[in-house]
Structure 1
Amino acid sequence: MGPGKELLTLGLLYMAGICFSCQLGFNKIGSKCFDVNECEYITESCGNNAECFNTNGSYYCQCKHGFKNHKETVNFTAANGQCLDDNECLDSVNICGLGGNCSNRIGSYECICQFGYTNRANNSREPCIDINECNEAERNGEDLCGAGGTCKNIAGSYRCRCPKGYTNYGNNRTRCSKLACDSFNADSGPAPSLGGLADILVMMRNSCLALSNPSPSGEVKADGEALLEKLFTATVAILTPGHLDSSEDVSELLGTVENAIMLIGPQLKHNRTKIDTTETDAEIAVQRGQTRPTGQIHLTNENAALDTDWTTAAGTGSYPGFAMAALLSYKNLEISVNQSFEELIGRENDTAVPSSLHVTSKVVSVVVSNPSTQNLSSPIKFTLRHLQDRKESPEVKYICAYWSERGTWSTDGCYHQCSNATHTVCTSEHLSSFAVLMALYPMKHTFGLKLVSMIGLIISLLCLILCILTFKFCRSIQGTRTTIHLHLCICLFLADLVFLAGISQTTPKGGCRFVAALLHYFFLGVFTWMLLEGVQLYRMVVLVFNATIRPLYLFLTGYGTPLAILIISGIIRPQGYGTDEHCWLSLEHGLIWSFFGPVCLIIIINVFFFIVTVWRLAQKFTSLNPDFSKLHKIKAFTVTAIAQMCILGLMWVFGAFMFEEGPVAVVYIFTILNSLQGALVFIMHCLLSKQVREEYAHFLSCICTPQKKRYSDFSSTNPSSSQSQGSRSGQHTGESQI
């Protein structure tokens, strides 16, 4: 009921009193006046936040607890007052005590206690008082400060004082943990062989001793960020490529850095800390509290990512009041650890032995505060980026491995989950330093590939035999160039024969090395004789007289040069001949360049000779009196020599990729070119030569013509026809006279 209605009602009561001679606030009943209870008639006269009190002939209002009349009077009526909320938080100083914060409510207030304080009798309107955590823990049988720690109550909290040899890493509410400063003492074990590692050990030992010997006040000054920066600055010089010479050095460094992070992590002030140097990239996560933390952990950097949970990081043993997880990535360490694969050879896919293993990711270390890291309650998952993008295939497999205490790569308890061209996901049941290894398996040659190779090589050998017989007994083409072709075909024939019979005969090892040496020698001989052909063409065009090369010089160059290269290579690196997959030169330590180096040099020199030859031929064709017959022959010789160089050179371009574990298509191309090069030489130098074709025709006619007819033809030949035949023969031998 609003104020207007209240006045109207009072007015009516007043008029009633006048009419019946009763005073205001009274009502006449019969001949008597009785008091009117305004609180019953006027139910909302005082509002919702006040109480109505009836008096003789009137009434008054009083505000409820937590409200105050805005007219500052205790008793009032609807006409001269209204109850508003009373803000007790402003009216009373320290109404909630030193450890509480007052929060006003409509008609009341609430004391919100700070950490370490509580309300009396759990009444939110009572002041907050300090909680004696030490007494509470003792009554409940809890040990707040751990073994050897002393609990001291302070306002709103408590402090743990640790004895010598223990520390709470400068966090007063953290349980005391025993320190193992001897782990940073080089004198207690083998002296570190790695230069600079002793300085790190001294630095970490001094920090550990400072934590284990607190000041008389019990305060420990811990600066984890500064110590972490000093640690990684000191490791930069050690991690520079070339300084880690042995697996023992790598193990010492990895173990020292992991122990140092275990000591530094609890001293960090922030929950997440990242640090990046030229050699390392680290992220550390820390959680503190009286209860074990829960939830997922995700740490990441440019080359790796770690996924685990706080339950795994904290462990199931005694909880020290904090949990830590760290992911450390080494930016160049894969160069130093690309070794020690003895434990893996023969263990991966027992039926297949990888031809080579190498590290194909950055090396990362995972560190947690859990002391039982060799048998985690749940596996951790980490993702590593490949150094080079390459998909898995039958010839390529990615292996998740860890660096063991023995200084070798191992896969025990470390499992491969999945891979794509750029990343590999691994899981591990223990913690260590991890990396992804790429295993290259020998390509399994299909039956079709072997059949193509065998048929092609047999055809090539037959064609080379025809070439050798042609160049040896065809008198019309004899000359320096034919001699070169003859010995080129001999070397190619022997190379193909050895290739067909022994390229895959990898046992015994001595026999495989002999096969590899023969292939090295004969294939180099092929290219050496091809170089001599280029030199001969150059001399034929440039020199007018004495364009031939003496046979002695040809033999010394054609067979002596490959022999010299073979002897030098065998002396320098004899173990490089023969591999586990092929009886060929090893791709390790650069021995393969004892073949590809001379081949590339010969091709470059021949290209120069051919360019000069073509240029001089063009000049001679435009001269005043050119000998067209001679020039056309040289032109034909040059074209076939260039085609021959392209065929042989192109074959070894694909051969280089094949022995590098190239794609299957490259292997087929190499096999086809290698198998048919003898046939191509026969076509170029024999079937495309008019003189050779005539010799073949004459030879076949002699075989196919009956003996009687040949005798009659011979007896009827007159002197003039003999002279004519001799004249043609002289014309044919003109090629050898060039």
Structure 2
Amino acid sequence: MGGAKKLLLFLGMMYTIKRCLSVCGSGMEMEESICADVNECRESPGQCGEHTLCFNTNGSYYCQCEPGFTNINGNANFTGVQGQCEDKIECNIDTEICGHMAVCINTIGSFRCDCKSGYTKNSTNGGCRDIDECEEAKMQEEDICGSKGSCKNTIGGYWCICEKGYTNYGIERTLCFQLNCTTFDASRGNSQYNSGLADLLSIMRNSCMALANPDPSNENKVDGDALLERLLTASETVLSSPDMDTSEDMYMLLSTMEDSIKLIGPQLRNDNTTMGSNQTAVKIAVRRGRSPPTGPLHLWTENSTLDTDWSTAAGTGPYPGFAMAALLNYHNLEKSVNHSYDQLHGFEKDDVQPTFEIFSRVVSVVVSNPSTHNLSQSITLTLRHLEDKSEASYICAYWNNRGAWAVDGCRHQKSNATHTVCRCEHLSSFAVLMAHYPIDQSFATQLITKIGLILSLLCLSICIFTFKFCRSIQGTRTTIHLHLCICLFIADLIFLAGISQTKPEGGCRFIAAVLHLFFMGVFTWMLLEGVQLYRMVVLVFDASIRPLYLILFGYVTPLFVVILTAIIRPKGYGTKEHCWLSLKDGLIWSFYGPVCVIIFLNVFFFIVTVWKLAQKFSSLNPDLSKLNKLKAFTVTAIAQMCILGLMWVFGVFLFRRGNTVVEYIFIALNTLQGALIFVMHCLLSKQVREEYYNFFSCICVPKKRYSDFSSTNPSSSHSHGSRSGHNTGESNI
């Protein structure tokens, strides 16, 4: 019974609730038999989401975004969905909401207006008004335009009007300071500059004068970008000129380019400018403002990188309203400044001063700081090598005002195969130098050289005695071989004794000149041999040349070349490593030039000789004995030319590179020349072998037997004379 009562009570309650709901409806509730509204905004706070307002209605509610926010769906009223309100960007909706004197700054749910530079808050209406900087500066006794400038107020700023000779580079709010246009005056040098450099100086001087003396009627501002393009075009003409070979011209060019960048930088339109030509590439950064810039400064080009800070670029003096830094690369200038190393000291090893070579592009660093001779903080300059080379001795150097490379205040920090890092305490034009130290010959190399040259001298002395006293081979060719061996004997003797005797300087020059003379003499007599072979084959009758003519040509021609070389470049004889011709400025071609001409002429004569011999061999009745002798003469002459010529081909690389393999090949060819000439012209000659046999027979056979032999019948004597006449070789030919 109790359970039945509870069930009836529950059913009654459910019926009552259902009845109430059907009477009051959604959003309402029964209070004391009356349907009352439910306040959802109070009972369920936050149901509309952030940045919203909740509004209760009879039986319901709705949501709206707070002021400064907007519904993402575009609905003004919404219910029950959170996260539909986002910040309204008033500055984008109405760009003129703050007016032209202020800048709109968005805030969460609102915005604010900040006055632009040159304007301040107006206390009356809260807006912005123009600041009269000129009046304020006068009241505070501040000279904002400098002593040579007058202040003129403008809307939102002011302008400094400069006196003649002073400029603010056309930049408002910039101090007037003096321009020194005499730096572009060509007459301040001590020599006449080439036409390209004179034109460059004229362009920059005219631009400087126009900036320092502006025309009031011309309202157009200066165009720094156009002027920079004119500078690079004009410098391209100068850098490609072959006349830029003096230290004074080079210093004038580099200083003019640096001064020009200082003049042009403040006039550029953009804060960062990159421009280039076939000869140059420049990267310029400019910062403008009422206070000096700070922070790191990083500039880079294809071949260099500059790392410093803006305080170094601006300096500690009066701030002109801008700071500028530039990195200027010269693409091919290293060929023109690859000299003037006299002021480089302290790099000796074992009391030997190295030779130097430019191993990077020449780079100029330019800043607006007027005091760059001793910077408060050093700069870091990274330069790319012209070639990838890991093991080398690198030096950081700069081009000083005396027209030479120097290293004071600039030190090498580190290097790898491709780049070198330098730290310098001043600014100028920089480059990486590579020091070449002479490679000391090993004991084995020296021993091989001495033994080989002694053997060569011994063989040449035998050849000289043979050609002088062997009667059966006397003739024009023998005379040529005699003097060729004499020249080679003297050259090898001096080479053995004096090639490394670099001190004293005068003695080294004399040794180099004598070596030049007699090595040239060897090739001159080799040319005469080619001419003689040509005459023997082509001419039908007497092909001999008078010995006087041979001697005059064989010795006077090389003497003339040596005298001419000594007159043109007297200091070109003798270097710090060897008593030989200097490899600088192409002086070595005073030897290799004539040698190349002689080899070319000999090749021509040998080709004609071989061609004529082939024709004679193919004739109907050839004299085979004579032709075979000419054939042998030609073969030995060609072999001799190849040996002598090939030696000096390797000699080029020996003096330039110091390569060990090339060195051994040169030594082998040099020391074996005498032996090869002895084999070709003496041992392979039948007449000479017979003369040697007779000579040694006379020495070895006892005197009594020799007397008996000499008293033989006349027929034997006649027979011997006939044989000697038959073996005279060239004369019978």
Q: Smaller-chain TM-score range?
A: 0.7 to 0.9
Structure 1 residues 692 and 264 mapped into 2: Cα distance closer, same or farther (>3 Å)?
Answer: closer
Match status 1:607 vs 2:603 = yes
Residue equivalent to 1:265: 265
Q: Which residue of 1 aligns with 2:593?
A: 597
Report how many residues are paired.
Answer: 689
Find out whether 1:517 has 2:518 as its counterpart: no
C-alpha contact (below 8 Å) 1:352/1:441 kept by paired residues: no
Shift in Å at residue 649 of structure 1?
1.5
Question: Relative to 1, partners in 2 of residues 1:96 and 1:542: Cα closer, same or farther, differing over 3 Å?
Answer: closer
Select between 483-492 and 643-652 the one with higher mean Cα deviation. 483-492
> Which SS does the other structure have where 1:258 is aligned?
helix
Looking at structure 1, the residues matched to 110 and 41 of structure 2 have their Cα atoms a distance apart, in angstroms, of 33
Counterpart position of 2:348: 349
SS in 1 for 2:39: helix
Instruction: Tell me how far apart the structure 2 counterparts of residues 304 and 59 of structure 1 sit (CA, whole Å).
Output: 74
8 A Cα contact 2:40 2:61, kept in partner = no
8 Å CA contact retained: 2:184, 2:204: no
2:617 to 618, 621, 631: 621
Task: State how 1:200-211 maps to structure 2 within 5 Å.
Answer: 200-210=204-214
Alpha-carbon distance, 1:324 to partner: 2.0
1:533 maps to a residue whose letter is E
Given the two structures, how large is their TM-score scaled by the length of structure 1? 0.77
Q: What code does the residue aligned with 1:613 have?
A: T
Q: Which one is further off, 446-455 or 436-445? A: 436-445
> Cα deviation per residue 1:17-40 (whole Å; 9 max; x = unaligned)?
9xxxxxx97733xxxx78957338
The verdict on how the C-alpha distance between 1:62 and 1:288 changes in structure 2, with shifts beyond 3 A counting, is: same
What do residues 74-125 of structure 1 show as CA deviations (whole Å, max 9, x unaligned)?
Answer: xx9999xxx99997969x99996534648696xx5344657559999xxxxx
Cα displacement (A) at 1:486 = 2.0
Partner of 1:539: 535
Kindly report which structure 2 residues correspond to 1:56-135, keeping only aligned pairs within 5 A, or say none.
Answer: 66=67, 97-98=98-99, 99=102, 101=104, 108-111=109-112, 113=114, 115=116
Three-state SS of the structure 2 residue aligned to 1:177 is coil
Q: CA deviation at 1:518?
A: 2.4
| Aligned twin of 2:732 | 737
- Give the direction of change, closer, same or farther, for the CA distance of 1:248–1:638 in structure 2 (3 Å limit): closer
Distance 1:372 1:533 in 2: 70
For 2:43, what is the secondary structure of its paired residue? Answer: coil
Q: Give the distance between the partners of 2:60 and 2:183, measured in 1 at CA.
A: 90
Structural mapping, 1:351-430, within 5 Å: 351=350, 354=353, 356-357=355-356, 359=358, 361-385=360-384, 389=387, 391=389, 397-417=393-413, 424-430=420-426
Residue number in structure 1 paired with 2:10? none
Per the alignment, residue 553 of structure 1 pairs with 549
- Does the 8 Å contact 1:151/1:158 carry over to 2? no
The answer to which of 537-546 and 187-196 deviates more is 187-196
C-alpha spacing 1:65/1:150, structure 2 compared with 1 (3 Å) = farther
- Which amino acid is 1:405 matched to? N
C-alpha displacement of 1:285: 1.0
Deviations 1:568-621 (A, max 9, x none): 444554444333333333344555444333322322222222222222222222
Amino acid at match of 2:207: M
Aligned partner of 1:181 in structure 2 is 179
**Pairing 1:688–2:684 present:** yes
Partners of 2:360 and 2:89 lie apart in 1 by 66
Q: Tell me the distance in 1 between the aligned counterparts of 2:471 and 2:94.
A: 128
| 1:502 and 2:501 are equivalent in the alignment | no
- Segment of structure 1 superposing worse, 693-702 or 492-501: 693-702
Q: Is the 8 A contact 2:64 2:78 kept in 1?
A: no
- Whole-Å separation in 2 of the counterparts to 1:624 and 1:601: 37
Deviation at 1:428, TM superposition (A): 1.9
Contact 1:39 1:53 in 2 (8 A): yes
Give the structure 2 partner of residue 699 of structure 1: 695
Distance 1:557 1:424 in 2: 54
2:589 matches 1:585? no
Whether contact under 8 Å (2:70, 2:88) holds in the other structure is no
Q: For residues 271-350 of structure 1, what are the structure 2 equivalents within 5 Å?
A: 271-277=271-277, 279-289=279-289, 293=293, 296-315=296-315, 321-331=321-331, 333-334=333-334, 337-344=337-344, 346-349=345-348
Q: Is the 8 A contact 2:144 2:175 kept in 1?
A: no
Q: Give the structure 1 partner of residue 526 of structure 2.
A: 530
Measure how far apart 1:424 and its partner are: 4.5
Distance between the aligned counterparts of 1:84 and 1:594, measured in 2?
90
Contact 2:398/2:428, CA 8 A, preserved across alignment = yes
Structure 1 residue 537 displacement after superposition:
2.2
Secondary structure at the counterpart of residue 609 of structure 2: helix
Q: Which residue identity lines up with residue 649 of structure 1 in the other structure?
A: G
Query: Is the CA contact (8 Å cut-off) linking 2:24 and 2:35 kept in structure 1?
Result: no
For 2:74, the equivalent position in structure 1 comes to none
Residue deviations 1:209-228 (CA, integer Å, cap 9, x gap): 549x999xxx9955433443
Aligned amino acid, residue 550 of structure 1: R
Q: Distance in 2 between matches of 1:68 and 1:521?
A: 99
Mapped partners of 1:558, 1:89: distance in 2: 100
| Maintained 8 Å contact 1:96/1:128 | no
**2:475 alignment partner in structure 1:** 479
Taking structure 1 as reference, are residues 347 and 178 closer, same or farther at Cα in structure 2, changes over 3 Å only?
A: farther
Q: Which residue of 2 aligns with 1:679?
A: 675
Quote the residue 1:631 is aligned against: 627
2:166 touches 2:213 (CA, 8 Å); kept in 1?
no
Match of 2:639 among 636, 640, 643: 643
Q: Residue 542 of structure 1: CA displacement?
A: 2.5
Q: Post-superposition shift, 1:456? A: 0.9
- The whole-number CA distance in structure 1 between the counterparts of 2:283 and 2:594 is 51
Which deviates the most, 190-199 or 410-419?
Answer: 190-199
Residue identity matched to 1:543? L
Q: Percent identity?
A: 54
- Match runs of 1:187-206 below 5 Å: 190=188, 194=193, 195-196=198-199, 197-206=201-210
Deviation at 1:530, TM superposition (A): 2.0
Q: Deviations over 1:132-163 (max 9, x none)?
A: 7979x99xx998958779999988x6547577
The corresponding residue for 2:20 is 12
Superposed CA offset, 1:240-294 (max 9, x none): 5256575444444443443343343233231211233455432211233466545
Q: Is the 8 A contact 1:201 1:256 kept in 2?
A: no
1:111 and 1:731, CA in 2 relative to 1: closer, same or farther beyond 3 A? same
Secondary structure of the equivalent of 2:540?
A: coil
Rounded Cα–Cα distance in structure 1 between residues aligned with 2:69 and 2:407: 78
Contact 1:66-1:85 within 8 A present in 2 as well: no
Work out the CA distance in 2 between the residues paired with 1:518 and 1:422: 43
3-state DSSP class of the match of 2:408?
coil
1:462 Cα deviation after fit: 0.6
2 CA distance for matches of 1:565 and 1:189?
Answer: 40
Query: Which residue of structure 2 lines up, in the alignment, with residue 21 of structure 1?
Result: none
Secondary structure (helix, strand or coil) at the match of 2:270 reads coil
> What SS does the corresponding residue of 1:431 show, helix, strand or coil?
coil
Q: Residues 728, 263 of structure 1: CA spacing in aligned structure 2 closer, same or farther, 3 A cutoff?
A: closer
Please give the alpha-carbon distance, in whole angstroms, between the structure 1 residues aligned to 2:19 and 2:374.
91
Would you say the 8 A contact 1:45–1:77 is kept in 2? no
Which SS does the other structure have where 1:648 is aligned?
helix
CA drift of 1:421 comes to 6.8
Question: How far apart in 1 are the matches of 2:302 and 2:507?
Answer: 49
- Give the distance between the partners of 2:558 and 2:629, measured in 1 at CA: 30
Aligned counterparts of 2:334 and 2:287: Cα–Cα separation in 1: 32
Q: Which residue of 1 aligns with 2:487?
A: 491
TM, length-normalised to structure 2: 0.77
Query: After alignment, is 255-264 or 451-460 more displaced?
Result: 255-264
Aligned mates of 1:326, 1:253 — CA distance in 2 = 17
Change over 3 Å in CA distance of 1:95–1:35 after alignment to 2: farther
In structure 2, relative to structure 1, the CA distance for the partners of 1:431 and 1:611 (3 Å cut) is same
Map of 2:11 onto structure 1 = none
Cα distance change, pair 259–571 in 1 and its aligned pair in 2 (3 A): closer
Bigger CA drift: 697-706 or 529-538? Answer: 697-706
Q: 1:392/1:446 Cα in 2 relative to 1: closer, same or farther (>3 Å)?
A: farther
